[in-house]
Amino acid sequence: MNRQQLAQEIIDAGRFLYGRGWSPATSSNYSTRLSANEALLTVSGKHKGQLGPDDVLATDMDGNSLEPGKKPSAETLLHTQLYRWKPEIGAVLHTHSVNATVLSRLTLADSLVFADYELQKAFSGITTHESQVLVPIFDNDQDIARLATKVQPWLDEHPDCVGYLIRGHGLYTWGLRMSDVLRQVEAFEFLFECELKTLSITRR
């Protein structure tokens, strides 16, 4: 795909995710791989339901803007980290849904485990409900470089990881294509809601 097509994928993703309530206002950030050494990301501070062609920019894999006058998201390093980790990753989505935010705050452990849900099969590499999907939860940190140093060891030790949560903040998930990542966001949101409803019943 060329840059225009990749930018349109980001724009379309923003409209969809905003419409579902998973990326309110200027929260969230999205990216696609532009080349082996470049990524295309949303510009900082833009409303995700109203993105246009000028609201994306190219960065290098160190998170530096390659387009003068355009400021990348503060969390760019968490995107480029994933592209460096696995060359096959083609898109990354970071969302701020209510369910992800609340569940990550209620979960005192450092991870969530999804088990025996049929919809787990929506995640890349999962072929049966008879499996477990481990989702790490990292404490929120305004120092993104420091946060990235906490994420990397987990990724290295869990090469099949399909996403992670930042506590009180949101979800990161990734895949080969934007369509794969959007599918995974939907699956995560379904499972987050199931877990929250289960907690509301069992804690009564």
Q: At what angle do helices 3-19 and 178-202 cross, to 10 degrees?
A: 20
The pLDDT assigned to 204 comes to 61
Residue 120: Cβ-neighbour burial (10 angstroms; 0-12, 13-18, 19+): buried
The pLDDT assigned to 199 comes to 85
Give the pTM: 0.94
In this prediction, the residues of the chain whose per-residue pLDDT falls under 70 are: 203-204
Does 79 show up as a binding residue in the annotation?
no
Taking the C-alpha atoms of residue 1 and residue 78, their distance in angstroms, rounded to an integer, is 23
Residue 133: Cβ-neighbour burial (10 angstroms; 0-12, 13-18, 19+): buried
Whether residue 79 contacts residue 41, with contact meaning beta carbons closer than 8 Å, is answered with yes
Does 96 show up as a binding residue in the annotation?
yes
The pLDDT assigned to 41 comes to 96
